[in-house]
Amino acid sequence: MKIVCTQASQVLGARLAGRLGVDTIDVKYSRFPDGECSLVRGPTDDETVIVAAVNDADALVELLLLVDACDESQNTLVLPYMAYARQDRRFRPGEPLSARAIARAVSGGVDRVLTVNLHDPSVLAHFRAPAENISIAPQVGAWVAERNGNDPLVLSPDDGAAQFAAEVAGVGGFDHDYLDKTRLSGERVMIRPKSLPAEGREVVIVDDIISTGGTLATAARMLLDQGATVVRAACVHGVFAGGALLHLAAAGVDEVVCSDTIERANSCITAADRVATALR
């Protein structure tokens, strides 16, 4: 087995190779004069693990090219983050099922797919190969335990992530709960007042994705108003669109971390151990 990764997943790919004790395949990435992506891979093995977060259009194209370049081996696709996964329903006639479109596109030419904390696991049915979703909630929980020692209160910003928060909190037997959220627009949410025992507590808000940070910023302001001593945040996928980290700092969030499913400066949590276990 060898590991190959797109440019978006170099850190996770290298960590995964280390965990599994296998080699990585060198890839030369470049561009044609018109801006199109180009790559040349080194020698593959009979079995190749392709690690490729899809967080923008170039990352998607690189993944498609890499799968095609590895067409002589048996391929497992590790898809740490899948853009468009939240668009799994049609809200207006004529809209695409974007999650399905991406799932179908990336899974041609692969024999197995592994996703990490896919927003809605029902999307797994759209891949053209057997697909499995793994959760790194235990790894997020380990960060919570290490960084927030003083009996933290773990909260999810909505009931959709309540199970995730329960799994995170389960690592240390921490208190956990969720907030009621109503989305007003793509960037604004309303958190209905709820009687949470946040006063005097260290609060950690956990979610699968932080995108604009609107969800979290609103929740953090409310919790600090209620007397939380500190609010930190941890997520799996740090999208951080449109200056999200600045918005969160302005809302009083003390620290924001994410995992390496999308590689960021604050990727303090790794998915490598959990993915390695699934691949063994």
Query: Contact residues for ligand R5P (CB under 6 A)?
Result: 157-158, 160-161, 207-215
Closest distance of CB 214 from ligand R5P, Å: 4
Nearer to ligand R5P, 2 or 237 (CB): 237
Asked if 228 and 178 touch (Cβ cutoff 8 Å), the reply is: no
Mark whether 194 is an active-site residue.
no
The catalytic residue among 2, 28, 181, 194 is: 181
Q: How far apart are CA 137 and CA 163, in angstroms?
A: 10
Asked if 44 and 76 touch (Cβ cutoff 8 Å), the reply is: no
Nearer to ligand R5P, 149 or 242 (CB): 242
Instruction: Please name the helix (run of DSSP H) or strand (run of DSSP E) that holds residue 250, with its range, or none.
Output: helix 244-250
Find where tokens 């696991």 sit. Answer: 121
Closest distance of CB 186 from ligand R5P, Å: 7
Closest distance of CB 74 from ligand R5P, Å: 34
H/E/C letters for each residue in 138-200? HHHHHHHHHHCCCCCEEEECCHHHHHHHHHHHHCCCCEEEECCEEECCCCCEEECCCCCCCCC
Nearer to ligand R5P, 165 or 224 (CB): 165
Q: How far apart are CA 211 and CA 195, in angstroms?
A: 26
Nearer to ligand R5P, 74 or 267 (CB): 267
Q: How far apart are CA 277 and CA 113, in angstroms?
A: 14
Q: 109: which residues sit within 8 A by CB, 6+ positions away?
A: 67, 68, 70, 71, 75
Closest distance of CB 120 from ligand R5P, Å: 9
Nearer to ligand R5P, 161 or 279 (CB): 161
Closest distance of CB 230 from ligand R5P, Å: 20
Active site residues: 181
